[in-house]
Chains A and B, each alone.
Chain A
Amino acid sequence: AGPVESRTEAAMSELVPEPRQKPVVPMKPMGINASLLGYIGIDTIIEQMRKKTMKTGFDFNIMVVGQSGLGKSTLVNTLFKSQVSRKSSGWNREEKIPKTVEIKAIGHVIEEGGVKMKLTVIDTPGFGDQINNENCWEPIEKYINEQYEKFLKEEVNIARKKRIPDTRVHCCLYFISPTGHSLRPLDLEFMKHLSKVVNIIPVIAKADTMTLEEKTEFKQRVRKELEVNGIEFYPQKEFDEDLEDKTENDKIRQESMPFAVVGSDKEYQVNGKRVLGRKTPWGIIEVENLTHCEFALLRDFVIRTHLQDLKEVTHNIHYETYRAKRLNDNGGLPPMAVETEENHESNL
């Protein structure tokens, strides 16, 4: 194998899916390469797993949190290049802001390159929009824990499903208002509470209201505030698996995040290409242009390189933490295993 590339570089070069390889295990010994007389074929197992992942498809659940008007729905649509958010499901812009935080989950199946994704976007209208926003994160925390509970109940079933449906929130995009000053107290409270139960990725919304200098300064200030307040956003330092991960993630944590993004689902013609953007009298803001905003970085980070890791941290860390707590509360025992219909018949 060659020198260790950074994960992003490797991912970029692998963006073009390879044509499916034939299984390599030879039926006849190949005399040309003498060392092949000592070849077993263990590496072909990887190819089998890849095929399996493609066939099975996967679930991905992403939550968006932030005040109304910060462009959450548009951003999600831009991320998945599909109309997948609440905005596109019959939601009316003139609808009144709800009096409490509501949780709205919308599911879609999208396919790309033979890989099927069941994407669920969980929107949280009403967050931060009231006069008194005390504890407005509680319905969100409750929803997240409810999904862990659902999964746990399935897991302890006596006759359990081969693939337990996964409704747990894998990623929570938290939208920061581009004030240019600092985080708001509500931002800190939310992230303090929720970073313990879910992967939070802070995002600076509507970044086209800041100049490059303002953006850099604001990002620095936000990073400092998060650090001072002990908020561990994703990718959390303590979960870096090895040196390769750490180097990669340090760069993201200390330089790129929080991503300053602009979203759009409108296309314009720029230099002969169709691009997603926002048209203003002083120019067209190109969403996928890295010199204009960091949307492409966010997209690559969440989808192209860290998608699997987001799911794994949710399953191996956050879910396990919830489970351990539930077990401890229950005196070290799992919640009652559920019997099937057999139990009920005896009650007739």
Chain B
Amino acid sequence: QQPAQFTNPETPGYVGFANLPNQVHRKSVKKGFEFTLMVVGESGLGKSTLINSLFLTDLYPERIIPGAADKIERTVQIEASTVEIEERGVKLRLTVVDTPGYGDAINCRDCFKTIIAYIDEQFERYLHDESGLNRRHIIDNRVHCCFYFISPFGHGLKPLDVEFMKAIHNKVNIVPVIAKADTLSLKERERLKKRILDEIEEHGIKIYHLPDAESDEDEDFKEQTRLLKASIPFCVVGSNQLIEAKGKKVRGRLYPWGVVEVENPEHNDFLKLRTMLITHMQDLQEVTQDLHYENFRSERLKRGGR
């Protein structure tokens, strides 16, 4: 069980700074966490449903879905909603940045300008706050992760997908997600995943890489990490409707031919996506801070602005 040396804290030689992680823990629990997640993808790919499923909440209570005619003139909007989730005393302030209008226009050429401008604006604001006089209450609105939704109906990446990801892969952590996976059979999924991974490599797109489990982690964790890495891009189904299946209530989609269960790993990668997000939330923030933000900052400072 516990190593013998710790049964008596007054063992000669015991100082007590091994308790530091607990002190840090206490302060973190008090402070809570902030996380900003951006979702990008064409309309109707199930983005909103997926976000609601991931965080068991309803981020879009009064949603009106515009018709095609309304969409013609629309440019890409940026809509950020924040929700506070608490679990076992730990608070998470989650901001979801939605990008309605992406991919809707007939000519999508300027599609991603708005999105890139938004990401840069958050970096700019943070840089400004960080350089200011009063830094006690800096709010971190930088985008820590971007879920990019790929349509399951195509044969891989579309030109828009490639161009967009190349335009932002140096600014944000990209996690590609294949949406509405219940339109694909398992074989079709494997094929599509492989195709997409090949295309990502072919075009030199940098997606977020899960760090390998460290050597001192236990076997279960290492296995879990291996499994997660092997499943990218995740094929997901979202739903917040409770359906009766096999005697219990599950989140799913009811078809005449059966029920697709959201949280069933044999039906789709939803749980893997959620696990990946939660266990790597801190790493996503760190990569944003240490890589993407620092790149932005050094470019900005070299250009001479303050």
How far does the alpha carbon of A162 sit from the alpha carbon of B88 in the complex, in Å? Answer: 32
0/1 interface trace, chain A 77-121, chain B, CB 8 Å (1 if under): 001111000000000000000000000000000101111010000
Which residues in chain B, 202-224, are within 8 Å of chain A measured between CB atoms? 214, 218, 220-221, 224
Q: Does A242 contact B (CB under 8 A)?
A: yes
Interface status of A230 (Cβ within 8 A of chain B): no
A299 vs B19: C-alpha distance when bound (angstroms): 12
- Given A29-B263, A49-B28, A307-B23, residue A38 in contact with residue B15 (CB < 8 A): no
Interface size class of B (residues with CB under 8 A): 35 or more
Decide yes or no whether B45 CB sits under 8 A from chain A.
Answer: no
Q: How far is the CB of B96 from chain A (nearest CB, A)?
A: 14
User: In the bound complex, what is the Cα–Cα distance between A45 and B2 (angstroms)?
Assistant: 23
Indicate whether B159 reaches chain A with its CB closer than 8 angstroms: no
Give the CA-CA distance A27 to B133 in the complex, in Å: 46
* Residues 11-34 of B at the A interface (beta carbon under 8 Å): 12-30, 33
B80 interface hit (Cβ, 8 Å)? no
Question: Which chain A residues lie closer than 8 Å to B29 at the CB level?
Answer: 46
**Nearest-CB residue, chain B, relative to A20:** B218
| Residues of chain A lying within 8 A (CB to CB) of residue B92 | 42, 45
Max chain A Cβ within 10 angstroms of own Cβ: one of B14, B87, B89 = B87
**Residue among B18, B26, B221 with the highest chain A CB neighbour number at 10 A:** B18
**Contact assessment for A46 and B22 in the assembled complex, using a CB-CB cutoff below 8 Å:** no
B185 within 8 A of partner (CB): no
A310: shortest Cβ distance to chain B, in Å?
Answer: 10
Given known A-B contacts A159-B298, A316-B136, A304 and B279 have beta carbons under 8 A apart: no
**Contact residues, B151-194 vs A (CB, 8 A):** none
Instruction: Contact check, A28 vs B90: say whether CB atoms are below 8 A apart.
Output: no
Tell me, in angstroms, the Cα distance from A39 to B263 when the chains sit together: 12
Tell me how far the C-beta of A327 lies from the nearest C-beta in chain B, rounded to whole angstroms.
Answer: 6
Given A27-B224, A303-B15, answer yes or no on A40-B55 (Cβ-Cβ < 8 Å).
Answer: yes
On whether the beta carbons of B25 and A49 are closer than 8 Å, the reply is yes
Binary interface profile of A, 29-68, with partner B (CB < 8 Å = 1, else 0)?
1010000011111111110111011110010100000000
Which residues of A (290-306) have their CB < 8 Å from a CB of B? 299-300, 303-306
* Residue B278 at the chain A interface, CB threshold 8 Å: yes
Q: Are B306 and A25 in contact (CB under 8 A)?
A: no
A54 to B278, CA, bound (A): 20
Q: With an 8 A cutoff between CB atoms, is B56 at the interface?
A: yes
Complex CA distance for A274 and B10, rounded to whole angstroms: 11
Q: A112-B14, A332-B133, A337-B301 are in contact. Are A15 and B279 (CB under 8 A)?
A: no
Distance in Å from the Cβ of B300 to the closest Cβ of chain A?
Answer: 9
Known: A16-B6, A53-B20, A81-B13. A25 touches B134 (CB 8 A): no
A29 shortest CB reach to chain B, Å: 5
Asked if residues B15 and A79 are in contact (CB atoms below 8 Å), the reply is yes
Q: Which of B232-274 contact A (CB under 8 A)?
A: 248-251, 263-265, 271-272, 274
Q: Are B17 and A334 in contact (CB under 8 A)?
A: no
Q: Does B107 contact A (CB under 8 A)?
A: no
What residue of chain B has the Cβ atom nearest to residue A312's Cβ? Answer: B27
Q: How far is the CA of A316 from the CA of B136 in the complex (A)?
A: 7
Residue in A43, A114, A308, A333 whose CB lies within 8 Å of B23: A308
Compute how far the CA of A7 lies from the CA of B27 in the bound complex, rounded to whole angstroms. 11
Q: Are A27 and B265 in contact (CB under 8 A)?
A: yes
A interface list, Cβ under 8 A from B: 1, 7, 10-11, 14-17, 19-20, 22-23, 25-29, 31, 37-46, 48-50, 52-55, 58, 60, 79-82, 110, 112-115, 117, 156, 158-160, 162, 241-242, 267, 274, 276, 288, 299-300, 303-309, 312, 316, 320, 323-324, 327-328, 332-334, 337
Q: Which residues of B contact A (CB under 8 A)?
A: 1-2, 6-7, 9-10, 12-30, 33, 54-56, 85-90, 92, 131, 133-136, 214, 218, 220-221, 224, 248-251, 263-265, 271-272, 274-275, 278-279, 281-282, 290, 294, 297-298, 301-302, 306
Q: Which 3 A-B pairs have the closest CB atoms?
A: A113-B18, A308-B23, A304-B16
